[in-house]
Amino acid sequence: MKYIFVLLLSVLLIGCGDGYDKAICEAESMIEVGNGDSALVLVEDVYPEDLNERQKARYAIIVGAAHDMNGDAMSEDALLPDAFEYYKSAEPVDSAKLLQATLLLAKYYWWIGEKDQSRGILEKALADHHKKSTILLAMFELAGRDYDMESCNNYLKQLLELNPNTDMTFMLRYNLAVSAYYLNSPEMARDIISDLDRYIKMTQDSAMYWKQVIMTQADIVSECGDQNEAIRLQELALEHFKGDSAITSLSYASMCRYYLLLDDVGMARRCLQMADDFATAEIKENMTNAGYYKMMHILLRYVTTHEIDGTEWILFVNSLQSNKEFSQKIAEAKKQANVQMTEWNYKLTIENQHKQLLVLCMTFACVVVAVGFVMYVRKKNRAIVEKDDELDTLRRMIAESQSCTNERDDRFVKRVLLQQLGVIRMAAANPTTANQELLKRMQEIVDKDVAVESMLNWADLYKTIDYVYDGYYSHLVERFGQILNERELQLCCLLRANFSTKEISIVTQQSVRTVYQRKTVIRQKLGVEEKSDIATVTSENG
């Protein structure tokens, strides 16, 4: 019932236009855990024109971060410049949000083709901000998209200076080797990648090592002229990923080139055939892989027949261009459909909002009444159960005290105490279990209609405690009288007489929770552990 109430209240607030903060907060939480799709779903019904300046800035960051996280184009995230200006001028400065806005703004400008402005934003942030690693990673990412290997290499070296031996080192050194390879420095790339395994620190590093590093290392070693070592490394990958068709296909495709460089045309042809046999749909649809496979086929044909069929390559390139245009048309049509659907949904939302608001208000009122009634009934039933339990406790105390045959045991103390409350006398005079006076007196004690404190003669009870337990009360006062107050001394005496917590709560007219708290306070004053038995501790000879 509680959750229904919260849900209806949330929907009601959104319907009134005051629930955007909640949706935005939840979406920000999704972004923090890397779930961009869920963040977009949470804000899909949020319209920027309905937001204030702060909400609009947060919304822009959420949508931009989700697009960046999912690898989607950010060219439509035109709210990011305003979000950046908002966090730049906000007081107090939210440095985390400002950094996030800066990185997203740089990527937005990259997507719309303003690459110099994108780079300038990041270079200024690098000079001003203390989180240089985060900014350098963004600069490395954008340089990689532009295939600017020289800039990538420079950024990676700066990152390694900042992170010489951290969780990032493995990834950074791998990328440094790749950039050196593309900068025509295969020997340097080989030196970097050859000992990369000693920088493995995390599970994902190990997975990346086998899935990417080994195969890349093989290509780098091949470029250095050692084809046999390159083949050995690819065979290691094949053995490790036995059964993985994609890895198997890519490994055989690489080995085809190695064998060609060794002038072993037969093995090269066999490897290329294996690459084709294991090629998955994902590999065939990837332009880079498809182009490489087609190139190897053309090279093998040339090595075998000394002929080059240009028509085959032209048809392949044309098919790639056609597929690209086809994908672009599908994307444009989808975008137009989404825009139209958004407009329709917005109109429907406005038309239905007033009707929903009335229904929600009525539902909210009904839920409030229902919840109040249920809480009242539960409270009443709980009180009845508690009273019945307390009455049962009193009955057990009476039964125990009436079975007393020895004046020096726990039951005798209970008998004396109950006599002072007037219960034992009634039970003795009217032994029947249906005696109304006895029940009435017991109920008065339970309901706290009778002030039991005024009826209990603790002076006599202390004497009884001393009598039954060999001077326990006197020793207690002598040892701890300066530490414990009167009520705490009384509680110790009842515990020594083996009164349960429930019994103590009844005869002292305190809640069970209060009794537990007093026991904790006593243990603290005595300097003993929480689980220590107070009666045992206070009975020990000092």
In angstroms, rounded to a whole number, what is the distance separating the alpha carbons of residues 85 and 57? 9
Q: Evaluate whether residue 276 is within a structural domain.
A: no
Share of the chain above pLDDT 90, in %: 29
pLDDT mean across residues, the chain: 81
Residue 225 pLDDT: 92
In angstroms, rounded to a whole number, what is the distance separating the alpha carbons of residues 205 and 194? 15
Q: What is the pLDDT of residues 455-507, one digit of tens each?
A: 778 888 788 888 888 888 888 888 888 888 988 988 888 888 888 888 888 77
Q: What is the pLDDT of residues 215-257, one digit of tens each?
A: 999 999 999 999 999 999 999 999 988 889 999 999 999 999 9
Q: Evaluate whether residue 262 is within a structural domain.
A: no
Q: What Å distances lie between residue 154 and 161, 163, 179, 195, 246, CA to CA?
A: 11, 14, 9, 21, 33
**Phi, psi at residue 265, to the nearest 5°?**
-65, -35
Instruction: Look at residues 112, 134, 156 and tell me which one is the last residue of a structural domain.
Output: 134
Q: Evaluate whether residue 65 is within a structural domain.
A: yes
Residue 60 has which token pair? 């822009």
Q: Evaluate whether residue 2 is within a structural domain.
A: yes
What is the 8-class DSSP label of residue 212?
A: I
Q: Evaluate whether residue 458 is within a structural domain.
A: yes
Domain that holds residue 460: 388-539
Residue 101: which CATH number?
1.25.40
Residue 374 pLDDT: 79
Burial class (CB in 10 A: 0-12, 13-18, 19+), 538: buried
Residue 538 has which token pair? 């206070």
Residue 17 pLDDT: 46
Total structural domains within the chain: 2
Instruction: Look at residues 134, 163, 197 and tell me which one is the last residue of a structural domain.
Output: 134
With 90 as the cut, is the pLDDT of residue 81 above it? yes
Q: Evaluate whether residue 369 is within a structural domain.
A: no
Burial class (CB in 10 A: 0-12, 13-18, 19+), 210: middle
Instruction: Look at residues 134, 149, 184 and tell me which one is the last residue of a structural domain.
Output: 134
Helices and strands (DSSP H and E) totals, the chain: 29, 0
With 60 as the cut, is the pLDDT of residue 11 above it? no
With 80 as the cut, is the pLDDT of residue 23 above it? yes
With 70 as the cut, is the pLDDT of residue 414 above it? no
Q: Evaluate whether residue 496 is within a structural domain.
A: yes
The pTM (predicted TM-score) of the whole model is: 0.56
Share of the chain above pLDDT 70, in %: 76
Higher pLDDT, 234 or 374: 234
Q: Evaluate whether residue 257 is within a structural domain.
A: no
In angstroms, rounded to a whole number, what is the distance separating the alpha carbons of residues 246 and 270? 17
With 70 as the cut, is the pLDDT of residue 129 above it? yes
Long-range contacts of 229-233 (CB under 8 A, 24+ apart): 230/254, 230/255, 230/258, 231/255, 231/258, 231/259
